Amino acid sequence: MAVGLIIGVLVWVVGWSSLLVVRSVRVLGTAMLSPEQVRQAAAVPLDTPLIRVEADATADRVRALAPVQSVEVRRGWPNEVVLVVTERVPVAVLPADRGFQLVDGSGVAFAPVAAPPAGLLVVDARGGSEVRRAALDVLTGLPARVRAQVVQVAATTRDDVRLRLRDGATVVWGSVERGDLKARVLVALLPQDALAYDVSAPELPTTRPSKKTDPAPQ
């Protein structure tokens, strides 16, 4: 009898009394978003018993914010809900109607910007999500020594990814497959002064020489 009474009191205290209710919502991990933006999206009702906060529904509302990749909802006893947010990490920018959009490695565009931030390349892939993902996979797979010379990645299909280099030359990369080999072949070709390098078939690469290296007519 006494044990049952104690359990009943504990259930009432945790689930129904005003002792363990939500008094505040703390947000951790944000940089692009403000804590207030996250709190508004989470819509956690204050004065609700902490145990009755619906963690999954709260997380779904926060994940609806474009910059949010994931969120963990924690109960901070006795009176706090803690939202630990992981924001998306931009790997490139996409052209948009007005300016650009930051895009993460999975191809999700999540924030507008007026101009590409330093260190992020422009990816022009308007053929749908698969094409965009192919272009991003090529970009993120480039070794540092190659990526340092790239200023833009473009794709019209997932098998026709192209790079534009700082000197204006074009690299026909092709599909994502055999990226390591293509990178090694491109590094070997770059000392040649060319307008275009084609490594889409890395066993048989080709170049198109620039005019200044074309042989003089006989």
* Close Cβ partners of 32 (under 8 Å, ≥ 6 residues apart): 67, 87, 111
pLDDT digits (tens, 9 = 90+) for 158-215: 999 999 999 999 999 999 999 999 999 999 999 999 999 999 999 999 999 875 555 5
The SS3 of residue 88 is coil
DSSP secondary structure of 20-51: TB--EEEEES-SSS-HHHHHHHH-PPTTSBGG
- The reported pTM is 0.78
Tell me how far apart the alpha carbons of residues 171 and 12 are, in angstroms, rounded to a whole number. 69
pLDDT averaged per 10 residues, the chain (length 218): 45 50 96 97 94 95 97 94 97 92 93 93 88 93 90 94 96 96 94 95 93 50
User: What is the structure's pLDDT at 68?
Assistant: 98
Model pLDDT, residue 210: 77
Position 9 scores a pLDDT of: 39
- What 3-state class would DSSP assign to 121? strand
DSSP three-state, residue 133:
helix
